[in-house]
């Protein structure tokens, strides 16, 4: 199975953006007036990056917020989740930044989280010069690999992104050891209760863990059995109740899709038989091909009108 690092990060960024800033960029977070809220500018970002394809993008977010002094501020967050060095990464950060400024006449803070597995790759600037003219950008960078040596701090931290970082690191670490991954998935899921999260946060963060730490069907069954027993002991059946609901919904959707496909197939076969019979009857009456086509066209229109109703 191919691990999915991209989608879970996109979702957790939206769910916990304030916590993201406080966890990774604490100095900037202290300058933000969180009481005024913030807004994701997804449409604006789509317009910016649509024609700026300089490589893979992962978990990009453009956010409008307000500083403590009352000024509006735009923040471009980029989580780069590539296993290999990307020579164009710093250039892409520069391109996105100046495109936002050029289109909306707003300065924007570009922030980067590097989730790759190369300790020596730490791009934090881009510049080019010509004839004494210099242009470029310097941007703050966080490296998830640095948290490997801060595991105890992550275990004690209640910020949701402590879980996200641990899950990400262990997913990479166990990509060739599925049994070990199952053990870490169980441990990280249990830690959601140990950290004292609310039910909503437990479910949100479990979704991140479950989405990222994929298992085979056999190991997934073992995982659910262990979590079921754990939740029974805790008398907090949060995760397993969601699993049951998911299974029920999946069965219902499967039945509905099967019924719809069966109905469509039956309708198509019935219409085909009726069409063939109609053509035979009209041919026996001596109608020409043109007359038959006109009648069939009229009948098709009647069926379409009936379906619309």
Q: Span 118-132, mean pLDDT? A: 92
Residue 51 has pLDDT above 90, yes or no: no
Q: CB-based burial of residue 277 (10 Å sphere; 0-12 exposed, 13-18 middle, 19+ buried)? A: exposed
> What local confidence, expressed as pLDDT, does residue 106 receive?
84
Give DSSP secondary structure letters for 229-246. HHHHHHT--HHHHHHHHH
> What local confidence, expressed as pLDDT, does residue 154 receive?
95
> What local confidence, expressed as pLDDT, does residue 121 receive?
87
| C-alpha–C-alpha distance, residues 52 and 100, integer Å | 11
Residue 11 has pLDDT above 70, yes or no: yes
Higher-pLDDT residue of 11 and 255 is 11
Q: What angle do CA 112, 146, 38 make, to 5 degrees?
A: 35
Q: Span 129-141, mean pLDDT? A: 94
Residue 220 has pLDDT above 60, yes or no: yes
Higher-pLDDT residue of 301 and 308 is 301
pLDDT tens string 159-209? 999 999 999 999 989 988 999 999 999 999 999 988 888 888 998 999 999
> What local confidence, expressed as pLDDT, does residue 34 receive?
94
Least confident of 76-80, 142-146, 210-214, 246-250: 246-250
Q: Span 44-55, mean pLDDT? A: 64
Q: What is the mean pLDDT of the chain?
A: 79
pLDDT band per the 50, 70, 90 thresholds, residue 87: confident
């Amino acid at each position: 199975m191919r691990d999915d690092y991209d989608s879970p990060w996109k979702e957790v960024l939206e769910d916990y953006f304030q916590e993201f800033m406080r966890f990774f960029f604490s100095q900037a977070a202290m300058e933000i007036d969180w009481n005024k809220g913030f807004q994701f500018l997804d449409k604006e970002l789509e317009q910016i990056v649509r024609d700026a394809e300089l490589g893979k993008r992962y978990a990009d977010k453009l956010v409008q917020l307000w500083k403590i002094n009352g000024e509006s501020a735009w923040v471009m967050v980029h989580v780069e989740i590539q296993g290999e060095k990307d020579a164009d990464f710093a250039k892409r950060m520069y391109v996105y930044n100046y495109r936002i400024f050029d289109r909306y006449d707003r300065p924007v803070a570009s922030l980067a989280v590097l989730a790759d597995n190369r300790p020596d790759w730490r791009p934090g600037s881009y510049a080019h010069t010509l004839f004494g003219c210099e242009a470029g950008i310097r941007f703050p960078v966080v490296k998830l690999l640095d948290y490997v040596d801060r595991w105890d701090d992550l275990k004690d931290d209640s910020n949701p992104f402590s879980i996200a970082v641990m899950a990400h690191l262990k997913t990479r670490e166990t990509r060739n050891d599925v049994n070990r991954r199952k053990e870490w998935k169980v441990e990280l899921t249990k830690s959601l209760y140990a950290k004292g999260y609310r039910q909503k946060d437990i479910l949100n963060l479990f979704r991140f863990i479950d989405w990222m730490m994929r298992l085979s069907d056999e190991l997934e069954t073992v995982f659910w059995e262990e979590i079921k027993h754990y939740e029974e002991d805790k008398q907090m059946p949060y995760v397993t109740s969601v699993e049951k609901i998911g299974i029920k919904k999946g069965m219902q959707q499967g039945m509905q899709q099967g019924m719809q496909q069966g109905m469509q197939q039956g309708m198509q076969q019935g219409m085909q038989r009726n069409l063939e019979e109609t053509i035979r009857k009209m041919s026996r009456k001596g109608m020409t091909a043109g007359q038959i086509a006109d009648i069939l066209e009229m009948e098709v229109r009647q069926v379409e009108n009936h379906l619309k109703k």
